Amino acid sequence: MDWDFIAGHVNYWMFIVLMMTGLYIVVSSGNLVKKIVGLNIFQVAVFMLYISIGKITGGTAPIFPSDRQGHLEIDPTIVYSNPLPHVLILTAIVVGVATTSLGLALIIRIREEFDTIESDDLVKIEQQLTSADNKEHGEAMGGMA
Amino acid sequence: MAGTVTPHDAKTLIEQLPILQVLVPFCTAPLIVLIGSRRMAWALAFAAAVISLVISYALLMQVYGGGFISYQLGGWAPPLGIEYRVDAANALVMLLISAIATVTLPFAYESVKDEITSKNHTLFYACFMLCYTGLMGVVITGDAFNVFVFLEISSLSTYVLVAQGAGRDKRALTAAYDYLIMGTIGATFFVIGIGFLFMSTGTLNMADLADRIAEQGTNRTIHAGFAFIVVGMGLKAAMYPLHLWLPKAYTFAPSAVTVFLSATSTKMAIYVILRFMFSIYNPDFIFALNVMFLVFMPLALIAMFSASFVAVFQVNFKRMLAYSSIAQIGYMLLGIAIFNLSGLTGTMVHMFNHGITKALLFMGVGALVLRTGSSFYNNLNGLGRLMPLTVAPIVVGGLSLIGVPGTAGFVSKWMLVQGAFENGWWVVAILIVLSSLLAVVYVWRAIEVLYLTEPAEGAKMAEAPMSMLIPMWILAIACIWFGVATDLPLGAASTAAEVLLSGSFGMVE
């Protein structure tokens, strides 16, 4: 664990910090929109992890140059970065966008039905509904709900 | 190019079956939206489900005795290209998923009409098909990242399907939202795990991953990847402490959605855990063994008891079944933890048997909801006398859930008990039996309400419509059939367990 190791892995440290920040926001925040934002940060952290994996020191873009006839000029001395993780992350970005939009759409519907997007209030409303259910149906069953 | 003859390598239909399995439902989804007719939507979805059921059966028959089918997408050879790989383990899961979809859709016809606003029907069936595509894709693929992509396809459409319950109870929306948050965290954990695997092996093909891990041994990165994958998939499978989304989602989702999800979605996640644990990580991998013994077994046992215990006190039939599902997932995890041929066979068979049992029970609740508008016990008093044909299959399902001899549930629990005894874990075997007694209590409560209480004064209830009765009776007969003639599920499951335990992804050395 010397300075070079720490400085050389700066993107991994950032990944860990971002990931934990995102996860913390999801868990701790009471506002449904903020939860979605936290989820986004969490996912972006993973993009960073994947992109870091593909990077090779001194590596360039993995495009083989070709001459005018279309023959590839492959030079074995050139180091290329691994394009695969980058491509994978394109898919993950699309998934992230879809999740975010679906989450926001759900929040709009929740706002319409419950008149709030604070999870404390939502929990309270739901507990009232549930205990009303239990009271009504539990007593009818002869129990003490 | 003139003069050169390109080799003709067109494939027969049989060879194309693995890709068709995913493509048929996948293409049906946009087709349903484009045609936009409500009646056609259902017909198309049902046709797609039947076709893929036939394909699943054909695939299972090909790998029934062992071996595997490898399908290269676009002709790119693995490990570089994406590969679909079918062996006994996933063929059995595919058969379960497609069979459940095929019986759920006729059931859904009336149920969806009743529970969902009519302008959403076409989109509902499109989402249903997408969810189905995702589940099939997760199960069939042999590429680790592909699992994530299909997982998200199925998850995103599942959130939409659960939210459709909002017409009846607005809590469906928050249930869907909670599921979205937890499901996404789970899926993202899973991707991180795959990232770690890729980091230390440089490959994503499952078979190739297994080879490289065996070759180079394990390191901290691979261990961390394993932990992330198990936690991520554990969230999806509602493994005990990660199950919080499940009761709400199952209770408030439309009946047809609950039927389908309870029977397929958690089973798919269990399958992925099995696949990663046994096929990618070597089963001798000491780290995995510790995880099984120290993590899976206690959690499975806690789930079996605490969730069953909670189920006993529910006043809502549907919610009771949701808690019972968590307990049943405990049995499947226990089979993994037992870690011998009988235990794993038990897990595979229980996936199959519990799938049909729970689908049957949720269908029963859905049929009662259609007629009475409620799934609370006090609204269901004495319905067994008023609608005997609808309630009788529920009793069969209940017996199978308990594990009464002669029903499907007995076979799988028997395998689990046998596996526990083979390990000398007789305490575990006794606990399996004891937790089944809790199932007796909660199932009896439902039966008591349905048969032994007086129906409301002058109540007249019609039987559920034929489109519901037929799927329910098919599943009820299946519950008994697979409890007596155990060849198909047990044979396939023990082949699957052998494949998994050999740790070689169907490659027989």
- DSSP run (H or E) holding B428: helix B426-447
- Of A3-7, B95-99, B372-376, the range with the highest mean pLDDT is B95-99
Q: What is the pLDDT of residues B373-423, one digit of tens each?
A: 888 988 888 888 889 999 999 999 999 999 999 999 999 999 999 999 998
Cβ–Cβ < 8 Å for B18, B83: no
User: Are A133 and B156 within 8 A, CB to CB?
Assistant: no
Amino acid occupying residue B18: P
CB B415 within 8 A of CB B342: yes
At residue B508, the pLDDT reads: 38
Q: Which two tokens stand for residue B41?
A: 């939507």
A70-129 residue pLDDT tens: 777 777 788 888 888 988 999 999 999 999 999 999 999 999 999 999 999 999 999 999
| Domain ranges for chain B | 17-502
In this predicted structure, what is the pLDDT of residue B9? 60
Side-chain-side CA neighbours of residue B212 (13 Å): 16
Helix, strand or coil for residue B86? strand
Checking if the pLDDT of B94 tops 70, the result is yes
Please determine, for residue B109, whether its predicted confidence score (pLDDT) is greater than 90.
yes
pTM of the model: 0.93
Asked if pLDDT for residue A26 goes beyond 90, the answer is: yes
Residue type, B90: N
Are residues B181 and A103, on separate chains, in Cβ contact within 8 Å?
yes
The answer to ipTM > 0.90 is yes
Radius of gyration of chain B measured on its C-alpha atoms: 22
**Domains, chain A, ranges and CATH?**
3-61+76-114 (1.10.287.3510), 119-145 (no CATH)
The sign of the dihedral angle between the CA atoms of B275, B280, B283, B288 is: negative
CA gap B174, B163 in Å, rounded: 8
Interface test with A, best of B191, B201, B244 (most A CBs within 10 A): B191
B19 touches chain A (CB under 8 A): no
Concatenate the DSSP letters of all residues of B93-150 into one string.
Answer: HHHHHHHHHHHHHHHHHHHHHHHS-GGGHHHHHHHHHHHHHHHHHHHHB-BHHHHHHH
Residue A57's pLDDT is what?
A: 81
Which helix or strand (DSSP H or E) is residue B72 part of? strand B69-72
Which is nearest to B414 in space by CA: B497, B486, B316? B486
Question: Which residue shows structure tokens 């215990």?
Answer: B309
CA distance linking residue A38 with residue A27, whole number of Å: 9
> Does residue B507 register a pLDDT over 70?
no
Q: Is the distance from CB of A102 to CB of B160 less than 8 angstroms? A: yes
Average the pLDDT over B327-354 and give the result.
92
Mean pLDDT lowest among B73-82, B101-110, B450-459, B471-480: B450-459
Partner B, chain A 54-83, Cβ-Cβ below 8 Å = none
- End-to-end Cα separation, chain A, in angstroms: 59
The lowest-confidence range among A97-111, B4-18, B244-258, B320-334 is B4-18
**Percentage of chain B surpassing pLDDT 90?**
64
Q: Tell me the per-residue pLDDT of B281-300, one tens digit each, with 9 for 90 and over.
A: 766 665 666 777 888 899 99
User: What pLDDT, on the 0 to 100 scale, is given for residue B213?
Assistant: 86
Which residues of A are less than 8 Å from B195 in CB distance? 46, 49-50, 53, 85
Say yes or no for a CB contact (<8 Å) between B184 and A35: no
Structure tokens at B105: 């859709």
Q: Is A118 helix (H, G, I), strand (E, B) or coil?
A: strand
The burial class, CB within 10 Å (0-12 / 13-18 / 19+), for A140 is middle
CB of A40 within 8 Å of a chain B CB? The answer is no
